[in-house]
């Protein structure tokens, strides 16, 4: 059995987003920056271009994802698909066969980037990447994943490794970038089983729709 855990804020927009989703799920309440403990705020890395608002978003997002991973560990939940509340099944009529997702944590949706330099991740460069159907190893593709909206964690012990490694890092950054940097998730599933759609409404962007209908792999 797949356990769908969806991160979503406890506000009007969060409810609207949850009501749109095309699968059954357990709601995991999202977090705001002021709910994060001091040890998170003190370790968070920011760039010079980050506004105060964006800094707060990064802190809240990191803490929310950390709490979701911690929930998997503390409740010993296996076969988890963890998602944000603007992530939809490509085909809700097809039942996901978890045996095809493998035995390791795997990205289910996200943006493909150059492994070392975001500026080099042009459309032309991305078109050179050849992925096979099913499980692909990031190292073989020579890519990294950022802007993740969905991942699969087969075993709660794997979630514990992710949680403990993330917590013990010297510094923190945006959660998906942090996972990617530490190479805690080494595979992606192609083609993506989920797509992202925020209907022009975003808690992060002043104007939603930046990633509208994107299926990056």
| Three-state secondary-structure class, residue 151 | strand
Q: Is residue 209 part of a domain?
A: no
Taking only Cα atoms into account, the Rg of the chain, rounded to an integer number of angstroms, comes to: 16
Domain span holding position 184: 3-196
pLDDT at 47: 75
Per-residue pLDDT averaged across 171-186, rounded?
Answer: 86
Q: Is residue 204 part of a domain?
A: no
pLDDT at 128: 79
- 158 with 30: CB under 8 angstroms? no
Maximum Cα interatomic distance, the chain, rounded to a whole number of Å: 45
Burial group, residue 50, by CB count within 10 angstroms (0-12, 13-18, 19+): middle
pLDDT interval class at 3 (50, 70, 90) = very high
Q: What is the pLDDT of residues 110-144, one digit of tens each?
A: 888 777 776 666 777 777 788 899 999 988 888 88
Q: 4-18, 146-160, 172-186, 201-215: which range is least confident on average?
A: 201-215
Q: Is residue 58 part of a domain?
A: yes
* 208 pLDDT more than 70: no
Q: Are strands 144-153 and 80-84 parallel, antiparallel or unpaired?
A: antiparallel
pLDDT at 186: 92
Q: Is residue 129 part of a domain?
A: yes
CATH number of the domain within which 181 lies: 3.90.550
Number of domains in the chain: 1
Q: Is residue 216 part of a domain?
A: no
Q: Which two tokens stand for residue 67?
A: 């709490």
pLDDT interval class at 213 (50, 70, 90) = very low
Q: Is residue 12 part of a domain?
A: yes
CA distance 67 to 76: 14
Q: Is residue 211 part of a domain?
A: no
Q: Is residue 159 part of a domain?
A: yes
């Amino acid at each position: 059995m797949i356990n769908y855990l969806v991160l979503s804020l406890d506000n009007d927009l969060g409810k609207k987003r949850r009501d749109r989703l095309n699968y059954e799920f357990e709601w995991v309440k999202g977090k705001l920056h002021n709910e994060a403990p001091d040890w998170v705020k003190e370790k968070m890395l920011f760039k010079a271009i980050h506004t105060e608002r964006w800094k707060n978003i990064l802190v809240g997002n990191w803490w929310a994802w950390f709490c979701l991973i911690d929930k998997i560990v503390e409740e010993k939940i296996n076969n988890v698909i963890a998602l944000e509340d603007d992530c939809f099944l490509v085909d809700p009529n097809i039942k996901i066969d978890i045996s095809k997702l493998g035995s390791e944590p795997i990205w289910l949706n996200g943006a493909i980037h150059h492994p070392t330099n975001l500026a080099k991740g042009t459309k032309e460069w991305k078109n050179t990447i050849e992925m096979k159907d099913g499980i692909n190893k990031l190292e073989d593709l020579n890519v990294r994943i950022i802007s993740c909206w969905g991942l699969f964690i087969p075993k709660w012990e794997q979630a514990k490794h992710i949680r403990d490694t993330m917590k013990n890092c010297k510094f923190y950054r945006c959660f998906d970038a942090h996972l990617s940097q530490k190479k805690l998730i080494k595979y992606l599933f192609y083609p993506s089983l989920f797509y992202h759609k925020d209907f022009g409404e975003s808690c992060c962007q002043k104007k939603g729709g930046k990633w509208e209908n994107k299926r990056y792999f």
